[in-house]
């Protein structure tokens, strides 16, 4: 009897371990190096809201809802200097939510988080001296943040978050004169924000956040910057897929986060297939907060408020493997809020979802070869998992 019970327990344990195995990474973890561990010394700096590479330096814009946005830069990813403080002199600017390089200048877009005067756009030629180049909120205080940007057809585009009249897309050919390029919310009042943009196949694509049960996130595209056509079914067929956080072109296809543990791609911009439908086997991975191509592979960083952000990679869009430990070892690192390739490294900036947004965010980068012990050469006999 005891032997039968032991055998039953062994079988149960084997089944449980097998189930757990379904949710584990399928390959070795990458080696990551912590390069910013304390929000640049400000405890309330809870997110690295945006990253950009400009004039051979890496720029990081911060998010701080207890204080003001900052921008820091580094020539090597290790030594950092602050170049913007105090929210560009406006205490309402709590976050740098997007950055883009356009016509030889670096542009930074702010997020206020509340209805005050509206989003501001700042630019610099040297990283040290900045000037505002739009009117607050583009004249609409409901535009409380600029949440995406792209360069297309010789113009700079900025997508806004507007909870009152709906998402707006603005563009400029010189960085100072702006015109609205879409109808508010693309004529759908549920489309509150354009949180992702990408250029694919000679057209500009915009992905929305559809709030208030509007039917799901929408993907719109334009060949000329002003004539827009929706190219997906609302929510890719599910009202629960309501938030496109990121878009990325990889391997000749356009990838779009669906915001409901799902990732979609299209070879022509109109026909979509689901390549991730279960949060990479973890239903706590609600969305892909950032995507970037690095060394010929697509990397996606998730939002996970329970065990911490996960960074996954793929070479073909269908087979994925996790490259970090959950949250980089800290469950409070809920999101890979921003990412950039600088030099020989992939950088990931986190969002901290701790109480009152404390502890502060971190910035991590891949260290040395992406995988050690011969993995890149095809030798899978030895594995390593190193997270400092």
pLDDT, one tens digit for every residue, the chain (388 residues):
323 333 333 333 333 333 333 334 444 577 999 999 999 999 999 999 999 999 999 999 999 988 999 999 999 999 999 999 999 999 999 999 999 999 999 999 999 988 789 999 999 999 999 999 999 999 999 999 999 999 999 999 999 999 999 999 999 999 999 999 999 999 999 999 999 999 999 999 999 999 876 689 999 999 999 999 999 999 999 999 999 999 999 999 999 999 999 999 999 999 999 999 999 999 999 999 999 999 999 999 999 999 999 999 999 999 999 999 999 999 999 999 999 999 999 999 999 998 877 799 999 999 865 544 433 433 332 333 323 2
Question: Buried (b) or exposed (e) across 44-59, using 16+ Cβ within 10 A?
Answer: bbbbbbbbbbbeebbb
Number of helical (H) and strand (E) elements in the chain, helices listed first: 1, 28
Report the half-sphere exposure of 325 (CA within 13 A, side-chain side): 13
Buried b (16+ CB within 10 A) or exposed e, 283-320: ebbbbbbbbbebeebbbbbbbbeeebbbbbbbeebeeb
Task: Give the pLDDT score at 293.
Answer: 98
User: Which residues have a Cβ under 8 Å from the Cβ of 101 and sit 6 or more positions away?
Assistant: 52, 53, 54, 107, 151
Task: Give the distance from CA 12 to its chain's centroid.
Answer: 40
**Cα Rg of the chain, angstroms:** 21
Q: What is the pLDDT of residue 28?
A: 54
Question: Which pLDDT score, from 0 to 100, does residue 114 have?
Answer: 82
Contact 169, 157 (CB under 8 A): yes
**Residues paired with 78 in a beta bridge:** none
Burial class (CB in 10 A: 0-12, 13-18, 19+), 153: middle
The alpha carbon dihedral of 376, 380, 386, 387 has a sign of positive
The pLDDT, as a whole number, for residue 10 is 35
Tell me which CATH homologous superfamily contains domain 51-330: Kelch-type beta propeller (2.120.10.80)
- Entry pTM: 0.88
List the domain boundaries for the chain. Answer: 51-330
Within 219-286, strands assigned E span 219-222, 229-230, 247-250, 253-257, 263-266, 272-276
H helices present in the chain, as ranges: 2-21
Q: Are 349 and 363 in contact (CB under 8 A)?
A: yes
Report residue 9 as tokens: 């327990």
Q: How many CA atoms lie within 13 A of 91 on its CB side?
A: 2
358 burial (CB, 10 Å; 0-12 / 13-18 / 19+) is middle
* pLDDT, position 356: 76
Burial class (CB within 10 angstroms; exposed 0-12, middle 13-18, buried 19+) of 112 = buried
């Amino acid at each position: 009897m005891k032997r039968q019970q032991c055998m039953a327990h062994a079988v149960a344990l084997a089944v449980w371990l097998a189930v757990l195995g379904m949710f584990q990474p399928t390959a070795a973890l990458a080696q990551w190096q912590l390069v910013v561990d304390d929000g640049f010394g400000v405890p309330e700096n809870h997110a690295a809201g945006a990253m950009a590479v400009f004039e051979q330096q890496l720029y990081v814009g911060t998010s701080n809802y207890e204080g003001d946005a900052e921008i820091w830069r580094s020539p090597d990813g290790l030594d950092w200097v602050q170049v913007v403080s105090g929210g560009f002199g406006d205490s309402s600017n709590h976050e740098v939510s997007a950055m883009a390089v356009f016509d030889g200048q670096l542009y930074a877009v702010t997020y206020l988080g509340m209805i005050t005067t509206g989003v501001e756009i700042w630019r610099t030629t040297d990283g040290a001296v900045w000037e505002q180049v739009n009117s607050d909120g583009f004249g609409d205080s409901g535009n409380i943040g600029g949440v995406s940007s792209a360069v297309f057809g010789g113009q700079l585009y900025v997508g806004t978050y507007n909870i009152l009249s709906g998402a707006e897309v603005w563009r400029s050919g010189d960085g100072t004169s702006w015109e609205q390029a879409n109808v508010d919310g693309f004529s759908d009042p549920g489309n509150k924000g354009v949180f992702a943009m990408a250029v694919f196949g000679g057209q500009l694509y915009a992905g929305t956040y559809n709030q208030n049960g509007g039917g799901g996130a929408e993907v719109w595209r334009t060949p000329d910057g002003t004539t827009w056509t929706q190219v997906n079914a609302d929510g890719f067929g599910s009202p629960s897929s309501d938030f496109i956080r990121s878009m990325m072109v990889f391997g000749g296809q356009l990838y779009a986060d669906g915001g409901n543990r799902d990732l979609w791609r299209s070879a022509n911009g109109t026909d979509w297939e689901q390549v991730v439908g279960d949060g990479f086997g973890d239903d706590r991975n609600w969305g892909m907060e950032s995507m970037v191509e690095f060394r010929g592979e697509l990397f996606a960083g998730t939002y996970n408020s329970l065990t911490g952000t996960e960074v996954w990679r793929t070479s073909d869009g269908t087979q994925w493997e996790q490259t970090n430990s959950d949250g980089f070892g800290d469950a409070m690192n809920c999101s890979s809020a921003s990412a950039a390739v600088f030099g020989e490294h992939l950088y990931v900036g986190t969002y901290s979802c701790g109480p009152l947004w404390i502890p502060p965010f971190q910035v991590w980068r891949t260290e040395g070869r992406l995988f050690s012990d011969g993995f890149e050469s095809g030798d899978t006999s030895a594995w390593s998992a190193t997270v400092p």
